[in-house]
Structure 1
Amino acid sequence: MANSTMVTEFLLMGFADKRQLRLLLSVLFLLMYLATLSGNLLIVSATTLDQSLHKPMYFFLRNLSILDMCYVSVTIPNACVNSLTDNRVISVTGCAAQIFLFIYCAFVELLFLTIMARDRYVAICQPLRYPVIMNHQFCVWTTLVSLLSGLIYAGVHTGNTFRLSFCQSNMVHQFFCDVPSLLSLSCSDTFNNFLLLIVSAILFGCGSFTFITVSYIYIFSTVLKFPTKERGKAFSTCVPHILVVSVFLSSSSCMYLRPSGASDILQGVILTVCYTIVPPFLNPIIYSLRNTQVKEAIRKIQFRFIPMSLRSKHL
């Protein structure tokens, strides 16, 4: 250790080795990023400006959309710029900040998805008690608890990672800084770090997934008693929620809990895209843009802000 050179900066791997493929993936991810921002911004605008959408369900949708914009902005813009300019350097401080923000957004996203499953369970299985259970105070407090607990969770993982010594290679085998990639670069004992990842995955990942699954088992058993028309509407709302949660949890679990020796870069990039880009990109489409009330609210907003001259030409 005394003769080792301590790492002062890291080099990110990027999307691909070949320039043409790197350029193609950068443009693709940049377009998905812009589409994600646009879709989520529409949801935030619609649920804020339209009084008819000031309900618990749309309160959580608005929170999820705001979080998704932050979540995808932590990694993708910087990764795209680095790939296009071939500048892969990131400072230790920048790496720590990226890890903290990424873990924070991912953890709060998981909590929001869990709360939304609870919201759907109460709305479908206990509709008469919905206004009492999902009241404004409950919505505000669960949001605040999620945001504050995310700070503690991200702080613990970030601090536990950067207390290690990095004196070997500084090449991060990922297009952004994440905990598993840094643990493989450390020359310290990382057993406690991997133990913390496993315990966290079991407590929060498996716990949230179990809660969501049980909620939807009750939801589906109730929906099967509905008339056929209402049954299809309920299934179209609930099934996509399960799919997004499954993709988010399964891909992140595979990435964070796979053995440290597993260094297939392409597999790592694919898994990372599944839990960094895909959920924020799909959430507006699944939760809101297929919703009749939200689509109507978006039309009202467009009608309100489109200039009169353009409306006249359109008419």
Structure 2
Amino acid sequence: MLQNNFTMITEVHLLGFNNLYPHNILLFILFFIIYCLTTSWNFLLIVLVATIRNLHSPMYMFLTQLSLSDIIMTNSISPILLRVLVDRQTIITFTGCLAQYYFFSASLGLDTMLLTVMSYDRYLAICNPLRYNAIMNYLFCLKLIISSWLVSFSAIIKYVVSISNLNFCGSNVIDHFFCDLTPLLALSCSDTYVVQIEVTSITIPSVFPFLFIIVSYCYIVFTILRIPTVTGRQKAFSTCSSHLTVVSIYFVTLLCTYMVPTRGKSSTSSKILSLLYTVMIPLINPLIYSFRNTDIQEAFQKTFIKLAACIDITLACKT
């Protein structure tokens, strides 16, 4: 397609891990296993919270939304990643590239919103337990969830549309395994200053959820330290340890990826850091909540016991 004497880009060429070609088969097997585990584990968490009455509480409502967000994240990244590993490099349409970036960015924002909401939930549960049930009722939780989804998916639309209105010409090669913002804008032959300003205008407010989480946990720590008994302190801390672990891994990874200067950082190290929050975190989140939360462990045990009993009854009927 010709426009303004330039050949406009209609396809994007993803190089993936072009310096690791000899290991592509092993990487494909590894990431395929991770993809299957991530999708099934997050889906299982959603089913458990929906079916086990003991898990019908605000914290687990937010956890199901976090699992849904992680499913969106992994399904926007992993299928293309696996295809890149099979083909050693792959071509996707420019529209598909923009769609991948949209769902990736929206799920990243949704994770941030939900982790912030969950920190507020833990703050109320520990610092203001007498008013917790009155404040964190079903309607308020529903409003927080809907607001998180609307804010995350609507905030990204504006500058995705702005990106689509740029002229993309010349090279269509991205030395990455997915369509991230920086390599995508590098393909443009237009002035990207306005788009970068728009992105910055959205990125700066995203610091406030991080600050809100820090302040919330400062209050939580001070409240826990005032509990007179060791058992009481351990019990109070156990209610927020899973969330604190997830928050720490999530924000440290993002800070290392986007806040550390890119100068002197190789493309391989950038791709590895990107793998941490696009592929590994959606897998790690449900594992942390499963292994560090006694309620979910008990729910897993009850479910597997019921499943085993059903299988035994089915086999007994067949014999």
Structure 1 length normalisation: TM-score? 0.90
Q: Which residue of 2 aligns with 1:23?
A: 25
How many matched pairs?
A: 312
Q: Which residue of 1 aligns with 2:233?
A: 231
Structure 2 residue 194 is the aligned partner of structure 1 residue 196: no
Comparing 233-242 with 181-190, greater Cα deviation is found at 233-242
CA distance in 1, matches of 2:259, 2:5: 32
Comparing 51-60 with 242-251, greater Cα deviation is found at 242-251
Q: After TM superposition, give the deviation of residue 25 of structure 1 in Å.
A: 2.3
Change over 3 Å in CA distance of 1:153–1:47 after alignment to 2: same
Partner amino acid, structure 2, of 1:220: V
Aligned pair partner of 1:157 in 150, 156, 159: 159
Matched-pair contact (CA < 8 Å) for 1:125–1:222: yes
Aligned pair partner of 2:186 in 184, 187, 209: 184
Change over 3 Å in CA distance of 1:166–1:262 after alignment to 2: farther
Matched-pair contact (CA < 8 Å) for 2:123–2:219: yes
Q: Which residue of 2 aligns with 1:93?
A: 95
Partner amino acid, structure 2, of 1:90: I
Matched-pair contact (CA < 8 Å) for 2:17–2:88: no
CA RMSD of aligned residues (A): 2.3
CA distance in 2, matches of 1:185, 1:125: 50
Q: Which residue of 2 aligns with 1:127?
A: 129
Q: Percent identity?
A: 36
Structure 2 residue 7 is the aligned partner of structure 1 residue 8: no
CA distance in 1, matches of 2:17, 2:219: 42
Comparing 188-197 with 234-243, greater Cα deviation is found at 234-243
CA distance in 2, matches of 1:259, 1:200: 20
CA distance in 2, matches of 1:192, 1:263: 26
User: Secondary structure of the equivalent of 2:6?
Assistant: coil
User: Secondary structure of the equivalent of 1:10?
Assistant: strand
Change over 3 Å in CA distance of 1:25–1:278 after alignment to 2: same
Q: Deviations over 1:90-121 (max 9, x none)?
A: 00111111111111111111100100000000
Q: Which residue of 1 aligns with 2:221?
A: 220
Gaps of 5+ in 2: none
Structure 2 residue 306 is the aligned partner of structure 1 residue 304: yes
Matched-pair contact (CA < 8 Å) for 2:242–2:293: no
Gaps of 5+ in 1: none
Change over 3 Å in CA distance of 1:264–1:27 after alignment to 2: same
Matched-pair contact (CA < 8 Å) for 1:201–1:253: no
Q: After TM superposition, give the deviation of residue 56 of structure 1 in Å.
A: 0.7
Q: Which residue of 1 aligns with 2:40?
A: 38
Q: After TM superposition, give the deviation of residue 207 of structure 1 in Å.
A: 0.5
Q: Which residue of 2 aligns with 1:102?
A: 104
Matched-pair contact (CA < 8 Å) for 1:99–1:177: yes
Q: Which residue of 1 aligns with 2:146?
A: 144
Structure 2 length normalisation: TM-score? 0.89
Q: Deviations over 1:153-207 (max 9, x none)?
A: 1211311222211112111121011211111121111122222333322211x11
Change over 3 Å in CA distance of 1:260–1:180 after alignment to 2: farther
CA distance in 1, matches of 2:237, 2:266: 37
Partner amino acid, structure 1, of 2:55: L
Q: After TM superposition, give the deviation of residue 85 of structure 1 in Å.
A: 2.8
Aligned pair partner of 1:270 in 272, 277, 281: 272
Aligned pair partner of 1:117 in 116, 119, 125: 119
CA distance in 2, matches of 1:160, 1:258: 26
CA distance in 2, matches of 1:169, 1:257: 27
User: Secondary structure of the equivalent of 1:275?
Assistant: helix
CA distance in 1, matches of 2:95, 2:38: 27
Change over 3 Å in CA distance of 1:184–1:239 after alignment to 2: farther
Q: Deviations over 1:39-58 (max 9, x none)?
A: 21221121111112111111
Aligned pair partner of 1:247 in 239, 246, 249: 249
Change over 3 Å in CA distance of 1:255–1:230 after alignment to 2: same
Matched-pair contact (CA < 8 Å) for 1:289–1:295: yes
Partner amino acid, structure 1, of 2:277: Y
Partner amino acid, structure 1, of 2:98: A
Matched-pair contact (CA < 8 Å) for 2:126–2:223: yes
Q: After TM superposition, give the deviation of residue 76 of structure 1 in Å.
A: 0.9
Runs of 4+ in 1 over 4 A off after TM superposition: 256-263
